[in-house]
Amino acid sequence: MPEVTSSVGVVILTQGSRPDDLARGIRSVLDQRDVDLDVVVVGNGWEPEGLPDGVRGHALPKNVGIPAGRNSGAAVVSGEYIFFLDDDAFLPDAGFLASCIALVSGDPGIGLIQPRLTDPTGTPAPRRWIPRIRKGDARHPGNVFSCLEAAVFLPRAVFDATGGWAAPFFYAHEGIELAWRVWDQGKRAWYAGDLEAHHPVVVQTRHPEYYRLNARNRVWLARRNLPAPFVPVYVGAWTGVHVLRWWRQPAALRAWFGGWREGWSTNPGERRPIRWSTVWRMTRAGRPPVI
C-alpha cells in the first residue's frame, strides 16, 4: 500500500510590505517534503498577488491585526495539522513540517510546537526568543507557557479547541493565551530547540502604542483566561515588573498605565478561564500562571 502522507494547512500572514521575504517564506514552505500542503497567504489590508502555483491568496480589506488575520487564514485552509508563518520568517530545512508531525505523533501529549528561531545572517538571537524562564541553551527543548508567533505548529483539532488566536488583542501576548489554552486541552506547549526556523533579528520599536497594547492585553489575558482569584495576582505581579522596568521612563509608564486602565474598562472578548486542574499541571511543569 502507498504510504499515507499527512496534510498541513499553512497560513502565511503579510501586509505586502516585504515581497522578497514573503517569496522566500513561501518557497521554503513549498519545498517541504513528505506532506500534503494547503497554503494560503493572508493579505492583512493587502491583495495578495504574484503567488506561485499551489498557493492561494486571501485578502482582508483592512489590517485587522495579527491574531485576527491568522484566524481568517485558518478558516480557509484544511489539513490534519496547521502551521502559521510570518512573512519575514522561513524554513531552512525541507523536512521541518515532517519533523513536527513525527514529534507530535511520537508524543501525543504535545499540542503546540515552537521551533528555535535563528537569524539567517548569523546575528545572535535575543534571549527573549527562548520562551522559558530559565533560558539556558537555545537548543534545549522543553515545556513552555508562551510562544513566539513567527512560526507555530499545532494539530488542527487542538487549535480549533483553543478557540484560535485572541482576535481582540490586535498584537501582543496572543502567543501566551494560545499556549495556555493548549495546556487547558490537556496538552503541552513545546519548545523544540532541535527544530529551526529563520527570522531576522530586528530592534523592537518602543512607542506609545506598544506600551498601551502591552498593558491592555496583559489585563485582558488575565480577564479572559485565569480563574477569578488569579486575575488580580497576575496583573499585580506584572504591574510591579513593569514599574521596576520602566520607572526611569515616565512617558513609557504613562502610556503603559493608560493601556492598563483600558484593560480593566473595556470588553476583552470571550472569557474562557482555564481549569484548576490546568493550573496545577502548569505549576507542576514549572510555571504557575501568576507570573
Q: Across the 291 residues of the chain, what is the mean pLDDT of every consecutive 10-residue run?
A: 77 96 98 98 96 97 97 98 97 98 97 96 90 88 94 98 97 96 98 96 79 95 97 95 89 93 96 97 89 72
Whether 62 and 131 share a structural domain: yes
Whether 238 and 266 share a structural domain: yes
- The pLDDT assigned to 3 comes to 59
Whether 41 and 151 share a structural domain: yes
Whether 90 and 145 share a structural domain: yes
- The pLDDT assigned to 291 comes to 72
Longest dimension (CA), the chain: 67
- Report yes or no on 73 lying in a domain: yes
- Report yes or no on 80 lying in a domain: yes
Strands 81-86, 151-155: parallel, antiparallel or unpaired by DSSP?
antiparallel
Whether 61 and 190 share a structural domain: yes
Whether 111 and 217 share a structural domain: no
Number of domains in the chain: 2
Which burial class, exposed, middle or buried, applies to 210 when counting CB atoms under 10 A from its CB (0-12, 13-18, 19+)?
middle
- Report yes or no on 127 lying in a domain: yes
Whether 152 and 228 share a structural domain: no
Whether 80 and 30 share a structural domain: yes
- The pLDDT assigned to 1 comes to 40
Domain that holds residue 230: 208-272
Whether 91 and 230 share a structural domain: no
Whether 235 and 141 share a structural domain: no
CA distances for 181 relative to 8, 87, 276, angstroms: 21, 25, 13
- Report yes or no on 288 lying in a domain: no
Q: Are 220 and 268 spatial neighbours (Cβ–Cβ below 8 Å)? A: yes
Cβ partners under 8 Å of residue 50, min gap 6: 19
Q: What is the rounded distance in angstroms from the CA atom of residue 89 to the CA atom of residue 266?
A: 33
Go through 134-146 and write b for each residue having 16 or more CB atoms within 10 A of its CB, e for each that does not: eeeebeebbbbbb
CATH of the domain at 165: 3.90.550.10
Supply the pTM of this predicted model: 0.95
Whether 216 and 126 share a structural domain: no
